[in-house]
């Protein structure tokens, strides 16, 4: 199974994301921001970093990249029930998904105005997505977090809608690190094919380099199941 990993000018975690795909058993396919052809990939990862230097707003320029036009076309609108191309947006990738209107809401500067970098405990709240089907409802996991503009915001109507539709994928535990409304760490589209989150699962796929201890007391590989989940989802489609 082929998973495309997009590199924008300023991407930092594309190599890590590609490695996570390979560790999970998939083939990582490099995609450049200027590509108009996705090279027949089965899914796409938008990695973390500072696309286009975060000028204007985080993700605001990346949404206009040629590669994003094709991703938006294949992923479909956020409220469609029909499954489209599976897309995972990590940190800056989550910001790009919101700027591209593949996911609702926006990401703004952390409420304490400081960059945060720590191992973050999360609760899994939606397992019926292409990227979370290998987790259990309510499972607690530990995933590294690193951001300066990670506060998820939306108006009450949007928040109530995504809550009511079960589209909150992850919530922060043990304290809100960035001021995200309702402790939301990640959300999905209606069909569950598009998922965005601020923490970095690609940094928690190896017991040597992941968090010292995962939520279950085992070596820190809680992020690996994001990537095995999408392999299963595509093979089952």
Whether the Cβ atoms of residue 204 and residue 143 lie closer than 8 Å to each other: yes
Express each pLDDT in 164-201 by its tens digit.
Answer: 999 999 999 999 999 999 999 999 999 999 999 999 99
Task: State the CATH number of the domain containing residue 74.
Answer: 3.40.50.880
Whether the Cβ atoms of residue 125 and residue 200 lie closer than 8 Å to each other: no
Whether the Cβ atoms of residue 3 and residue 230 lie closer than 8 Å to each other: yes
Structural domain containing residue 145 = 2-236
Which residues have C-beta within 8 Å of that of residue 163, sequence separation ≥ 6? 182
User: What residues are paired with 87 via a beta bridge?
Assistant: 44, 194
Largest Cα separation within the chain, whole Å, is 44
The pTM of this model reads 0.95
Backbone conformation region of residue 166, classed left if phi is above 0, alpha if psi is from -120 to 50, else beta:
left
What distance in Å separates the CA atoms of residue 12 and residue 199, rounded to the nearest whole number?
Answer: 14
Whether the Cβ atoms of residue 234 and residue 86 lie closer than 8 Å to each other: yes
Active site residues: 91, 200, 202
Domain tally for the chain? 1
- Cα separations in angstroms, 154 against 2, 49, 116, 158: 33, 23, 21, 6
Express each pLDDT in 121-178 by its tens digit.
Answer: 999 999 999 999 999 999 999 999 999 999 999 999 999 999 999 999 999 999 999 9
**Nearest CA among 51, 41, 90, 67 for reference residue 194:** 90
Express each pLDDT in 28-81 by its tens digit.
Answer: 999 999 999 999 999 999 999 999 998 888 999 999 999 999 999 999 887 877
């Amino acid at each position: 199974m082929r998973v495309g990993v997009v590199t924008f000018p300023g991407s930092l975690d594309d190599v890590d994301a590609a490695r996570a795909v390979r560790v999970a058993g998939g083939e990582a396919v490099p995609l450049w921001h200027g590509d108009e052809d996705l090279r027949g990939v089965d899914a796409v990862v938008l990695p973390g970093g500072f696309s286009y230097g975060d000028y204007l707003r985080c993700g605001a320029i990346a949404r206009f990249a040629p590669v994003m036009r094709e991703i938006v076309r294949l992923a479909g609108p956020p409220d469609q029930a029909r499954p489209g191309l599976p897309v995972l947006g990590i940190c800056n990738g989550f910001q790009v998904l919101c700027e591209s209107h593949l996911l609702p809401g926006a990401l703004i500067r952390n409420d304490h105005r400081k960059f945060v970098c720590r191992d973050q405990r999360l609760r899994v709240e939606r397992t019926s997505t292409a990227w979370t089907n290998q987790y259990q409802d309510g499972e607690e996991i530990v995933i590294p977090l690193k951001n300066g503009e990670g506060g998820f915001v939306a108006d009450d109507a949007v928040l109530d809608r995504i809550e009511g539709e079960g589209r909150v994928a992850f919530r922060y535990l043990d304290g809100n690190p960035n001021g995200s409304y309702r402790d939301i760490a990640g959300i999905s589209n209606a069909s569950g094919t598009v998922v965005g989150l601020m923490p970095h699962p690609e940094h928690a796929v190896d017991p040597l380099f992941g968090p010292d201890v995962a939520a279950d007391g085992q070596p820190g590989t809680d992020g690996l199941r994001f990537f095995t989940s999408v392999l299963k989802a595509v093979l089952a489609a």
